[in-house]
Structure 1
Amino acid sequence: MERLLLTLLLLSEGPVLSACVPRQYIFVDQAMSWTKAQAYCRQTYTDLAIAGNSEEMNRLIDTVSSAAPSSGVWIGLYSENTFLWSDGFRGGDEYRKWRSYEPDWEEKELCVRTEKNIGWWDSPCMNRYRFICYAGTQLDPEFIAVQEPTTWLAAQSFCRENFTDLATVRDDQEHQEVQKLVPSGSSAWIGLFRPALVWSDGTEFSLSSWDGARPRGISCGAASLKESDNLDFQSCETRLPFVCYSHPVFRKVVKLRLRAAGSVDLNDPAVKADLLRKLQLRLKASGATLRWREQPDGRVFTEEADVRGDEL
């Protein structure tokens, strides 16, 4: 059996490497909401269109450039378009103390800082500011100022290791308590953040791979491709045509030369099923699917004097 497995793997090495096959993009000229478009793509193909690098982006543009309406087409990019507290607080009314014209929904501004006597700003998470932790519980917090500037994620880790979490601010009273801990003219991180943009399959969006593509605004968290490499974010309920993607499926017949030990009948259904199961287990990581190619009489293996190979 081991000799048979080695033969199969060597003969199958080329077609098994299907992960290198480029995605195929399919333009669907039916107006749907983003969610319904996603469901259609997952049922009919693989998912809404995803592009991980500039080459895929160019092929995606080529697919839709001649057919896409001026209103755009859905692709598989989205954001929840909501701010969440680091400690998971969901109770009560949503309290926000935004500075005028904030948040401005810039793509990289996913974390929130508070500035003395001004209000809250959404800012890039890699900026370095003081930060406010809290100890105790969500309903009875004790706020603690940490003066060493750091990034939002580093501040979150520090607060969780040494106290409870980054500060959750539920009302005006707690806002005033936090403000007392921020020096004049300074800013401090609090625990409010917005989840990053992600693709429909859950992978994080990398702006650098899109050759200068820039989101122009966000509403509800759905994205559409408009002209060239520009992205435009619209309400998820807007009805637009869309682009799906799929992975091409390749089939290849692999011929095997087998020598049965003793009186084993290779055409016995139980023997064929066991052999196929073991072969499939060995190829599981490749994503390949195997099946026997049967003759009209149901036989797979044929005994011949001069065997040139039996088909899988």
Structure 2
Amino acid sequence: MAGPLHLHQYHFINQNLTWTEAQTYCRQTHTDLATIENSEELKQLINTVSSAGHSSDVWLGLYSEIDWKWSDGSGAQYRNWKIAIEPNFLSANQFCVRLDHPGTWIDYGCMQSYTFICYKGTQLDPVFIFVNERMNWTSAQRYCRENHVDLATVRNSTENQRVLSLSPSAKLSWIGLFRGPNFYWSDRIPRFLFSEWDNVPNQIKSNTVICGVTSVQRSGRWKFLSCESRLPFVCYSLIPVPVTRQVVKLRLELEDSVDLEDTAVKAELLKKFPERLKESGVNGVTLKWREQFDGKVFRKERKRKTEL
């Protein structure tokens, strides 16, 4: 059985660089910009930065690609954001767009419930329909697709005014604009299972990519800034961990018809053992059969005779 092969070691670099410059430095000097996969690693990183006497923002390897799309799949060239403050991506959790008055757009959490605008007809000649029911964005999308064509696609200021004229002044309504989370780490290992977002706005503006920072002052919580900002940063390197090996002997009682040396049987057994180990709190192990000198794994025990 073997445990994890590497641990992260973090390195605080007190140079003010852009995110891309910091990434290049880390890749040349260590492994990459800091990746954080759990609360223990976050604590380790914050301790590294704090020990260096630094408490304000530092770059992480975190970034998000900004790719706005319409629900019906059409391009999103026209935008009418509320000037200066939108989209603000509060708490890194606003991926859908609602229509405000007087016709400006606001990014918002997709699970909130609002009225919404559908369209029927074609993309070139849409007919907009106001639906006076409150739903989250996904439910509104489903309703529009089942009853019309899709959530409203707004291609220009004329269509925006048509949509606005349908929505009562007291109503805030979903339109079809949205984007995916698209969160990544610099090392591009396909994982994003842990996060520690700060409850602050993240100004996207016209950026197509925004980059992640953390700070001791904010207890290690994360936010996004323009990747062109200049900040100190944290790299990581991998520390090899000695592999622990252990031989485990098993005694199995099976029907005589079962051939334990069959390749498929041995493979199925190896699938079962990790599941049982997890139930006992043992994780991160690799199992393989140990062959004897004749190539076999199992030995049949002789039955002992009992003399009276």
Tell me if TM exceeds 0.5: yes
Alignment of 1:21-32 (within 5 A): 24-27=7-10
Q: Pick one of 98, 111, 132 that aligns with 1:113.
A: 98
TM norm structure 2: 0.64
Counterpart residue number, 1:229: 220
Q: Pick one of 66, 84, 88 that aligns with 1:104.
A: 88
> Aligned partners of 2:67, 2:297: CA distance in 1, in Å?
61
Mapped contact 1:198–1:205 kept (Cα < 8 A) = no
Counterpart residue number, 1:196: 181
User: Cα distance 1:258–1:162, how it changes in 2: closer, same or farther (>3 A)?
Assistant: closer
Mapped contact 1:26–1:63 kept (Cα < 8 A) = no
Mapped contact 2:78–2:156 kept (Cα < 8 A) = yes
User: Cα distance 1:118–1:256, how it changes in 2: closer, same or farther (>3 A)?
Assistant: closer
Q: Which amino acid in 2 is paired with 1:95?
A: Y
Between 1 and 2, higher relative CO (CA 8 Å, sep ≥ 6) is seen in 2
> Aligned partners of 1:245, 1:162: CA distance in 2, in Å?
54
| Aligned residue pairs, count | 266
- Give the aligned CA root-mean-square deviation in angstroms: 4.8
Counterpart residue number, 1:242: 235
TM norm structure 1: 0.63
User: Cα distance 1:256–1:126, how it changes in 2: closer, same or farther (>3 A)?
Assistant: closer
Counterpart residue number, 2:288: 291
Counterpart residue number, 2:58: 72
TM-superposed CA distance for 1:149, in Å, is 2.5
What percentage of aligned pairs have identical amino acids? 38
The range that moved more, 229-238 or 240-249, is: 240-249
Alignment of 1:144-163 (within 5 A): 144-163=129-148
User: Cα distance 1:78–1:298, how it changes in 2: closer, same or farther (>3 A)?
Assistant: farther
The range that moved more, 146-155 or 248-257, is: 248-257
Counterpart residue number, 2:107: 122
TM-superposed CA distance for 1:146, in Å, is 0.4
> Aligned partners of 1:48, 1:97: CA distance in 2, in Å?
35
> Aligned partners of 2:72, 2:22: CA distance in 1, in Å?
29
Higher helix content, 1 or 2? 1
Q: Pick one of 37, 41, 54 that aligns with 1:50.
A: 37
Q: Pick one of 244, 252, 261 that aligns with 2:246.
A: 252
> Aligned partners of 1:34, 1:160: CA distance in 2, in Å?
45
Q: Pick one of 67, 71, 78 that aligns with 1:95.
A: 78
> Aligned partners of 2:47, 2:228: CA distance in 1, in Å?
26
> Aligned partners of 1:302, 1:284: CA distance in 2, in Å?
19
User: Cα distance 1:35–1:113, how it changes in 2: closer, same or farther (>3 A)?
Assistant: farther
SS of the equivalent of 2:177 reads strand
Gaps of 5+ in 1: 1-14, 306-312
User: Cα distance 1:114–1:204, how it changes in 2: closer, same or farther (>3 A)?
Assistant: farther
SS of the equivalent of 1:173 reads helix
Mapped contact 2:65–2:183 kept (Cα < 8 A) = no
Mapped contact 1:74–1:243 kept (Cα < 8 A) = no
Q: Which amino acid in 2 is paired with 1:117?
A: P
SS of the equivalent of 2:90 reads coil
TM-superposed CA distance for 1:222, in Å, is 2.6
User: Cα distance 1:272–1:148, how it changes in 2: closer, same or farther (>3 A)?
Assistant: closer
TM-superposed CA distance for 1:199, in Å, is 5.6
